[in-house]
Structure 1
Amino acid sequence: MTTEMRELCQADWDAYYGTLELAFGGVAEAAEEHELWNDLTEFDRFFGTWEGKTCVGTTGSFSFRLSVPGGSLVDAAGVTMVSVAATHRRQGILTSMMRRQLDDVRARGEAVAVLTASEPVIYGRFGYGTATFAAKAEIDTTRVSLSVPAGTDDVRLRYAKPADVHAACEALYARRVSERPGMLARQPGWERLGLLDPESERQGASPLQCVVAERAGELVGYARYQVKPDWDAAGPKGTVRLRDLEAEDPAATAALWRFLFGIDLTSAVEAHNRPTDDALFQLVSDVRRCRIQVRDSLHVRLVEVGAALEARAYRTPVNVVLDVEDAFCPWNEGRWRLKGDLKGAVCERTEDEADLALSVRDLGAAYLGGVSLTSLASAGRVRELRPGALAEATVAFGSDAAPWLPHGF
């Protein structure tokens, strides 16, 4: 039978999502997860591939606002729910969906597309580069202590029901977005993600808990977490599982971590998604006993090279000609002159000789400032054509704060 790709409609949601779940192992998500993702779906941005009445491929994107170096928020497509039925692999379905999706993103005027990858090897051929990384820490709190800054003792902590302080926590998060590239300004409805807590996902841990940090009656930080109790012959050895932690200053940050380290009947803290430059790693007495692991997180694709490069600022003045290779989106192919600084940038087509040559995938990797052009060049993925251009561009593209995606989508 032939296949047909079409825009998703509400009546097809269950079949579409069932195909996605089957592709990811066949374990059904909790009802509250289904409800949230159904509510967040922008149906005119989602596509299904159908063979008769059977859905055999899925993809979609959310309308996001992405923080970039300089603090601006850029319209970005958050690519999600990508799957092809195992019975229909190697038939060009994924390529066709990626083609239509990027054409749709371009037509919407969005210069950037982003995704998190279940298998990173899949998306490089469509121009996505790994742009941010996430740190996981498993901390033995019986052997790791914290050295906290002055003012930590002035921060008041109190328990709160997550829903009761949710609006104040979201307001604090919103103030933080422009401070770190890669963060997402949460659009209406997305605030619900922070409270999602299906019992089936707890694996023996408690319901979601929250503690807030306050100074002079104002909220200056929060941590949401769960506790998984455990015991052996020597006594209690529970684990604190951190969901998220945000704070406005070093003292509030330290106060929250100190609280997590000191919860009764526990001997470990697990944090599964933290920035690679998290303050935690400077507060701890023994970073080795934090068992830090780093993995890829956000993958970036420049859909419109000129507009994307103009949308961010540059740490130092830069004036380079980039020769960009982009076979999948050929409108990006060719030479672009980028002139920019901390105040902004202009990026236009040029016939001038190129200073650097690279693929759109590698330009996406460097876009948020967390992957240096020099490191890409060391792997043969960026070629310097004018002496000195690589060093100039590497510094300019960098970010003072490591880019970080705070939650998946």
Structure 2
Amino acid sequence: MAAEYKYGTADRLMRYVQVDTQSDPESNLSPTTEKQKNLSAMLVTELLAMGIADAHMDAYGYVYATIPSNTTKQVPVVCFCSHVDTAPDCSGTNVKPILHTNYNGGDIVLPDDESQVISPAKYNYLKQHIGKDVITASGTTLLGADDKAGVAIIMSMGNYLQQHPEIKHGAIKLLFTPDEEVGRGTDKVDLQKLGADLAYTLDGGELGTLEDETFSADGVKIIVHGVIAHPGYAKNTLVNALKIAAEIVSALPKQEWSPETTEKREGFVHPVAVTGIAEKATIEFIVRDFTTDNLQKHEARLKIIAEKIMQEYPGCSMEFIVKEQYRNMKLILDQHPQIVANAVEAYERCGLTVVKEPIRGGTDGSRLSYMGLPCPNLFTGMQAIHSKHEWVAVYDMEQSAHMLIELVKVWEEKAKQL
């Protein structure tokens, strides 16, 4: 099917990743970086060229588009969503994508920094793509397949449906969001304007994976207030808030309760930033667990650790601030089993083995689900995300696009005649 596209998923991805769309967690703007709109504007131009007449970008960088229903059945309105931004963890400037045709099974040495080697010894999944085409960056940046692979897949699906009106489907909404990588991907989305009944994000990994469960997530800030004095006359007076903050971080368990010591369904507490001066210092944490009630237990444990340190510094004080980030989408999706069931059927029609697994992270689908738009996450093939080793197999992207076309057919076939 992919060979019939006007543009295949690989062609689209190779173009999209060359647009720098890195988001900025320190920015208070929406979107956090104006450059994200460059790709959003490109997508609108391409959607209009496909004949999708209502495609547009709003002031916040969100792209909305509708592929109208072509059936007489009453089909739920399905939205497909991906994010345009790339992670702040690794440079996304001057990405040079490389298409490695007919991958031979050996190490992939990236030419702009030959110390960067993508090896099947480290990335076992690469072995499944011997003889297939693989896309990487050049060694100095991330690739941006997270989530421009998802964008390319959705765009390819839309293009195919526009070229093949004989495929019956209900109304399909396309949504491309900014700022997902900094946790703000749904902050400005207009669900009333979107007008969808359910959604699927294209932000997953290996071929055949289907994710209907995420971490629940909170953010915690510990603000330490020290006692300031002129350093030249500070004896028996100065209490340095930065040093207290360092003690709190040092007091965290070393062999458990952290990302580097947990896996599968284990939760963690993770310090992500320490900022401040001698008078006042802030430690920022992310708190994660698949069981939402466990978040409070983790936070209580963290608070006890911090308070024990603070007891050693009379005259100093601490603020402990908890902010909800997102919740496990499975609690919502279990109320709408047909959404996942139809995706499973689409996978199986494509000959794919469905692999359900929880996401040790979150997607736009987590928040969309709790905003009233139930939304599991589907595969794109992206691997080693947020790093210079990021890669994606073209076969996986093509299979994902094919699966989406089957998915809209499933929804239409199961719908009631008007």
TM-score (normalised: structure 1): 0.29
Structure with the bigger RCO (C-alpha within 8 Å, sep 6+) is 2
TM-score (normalised: structure 2): 0.28
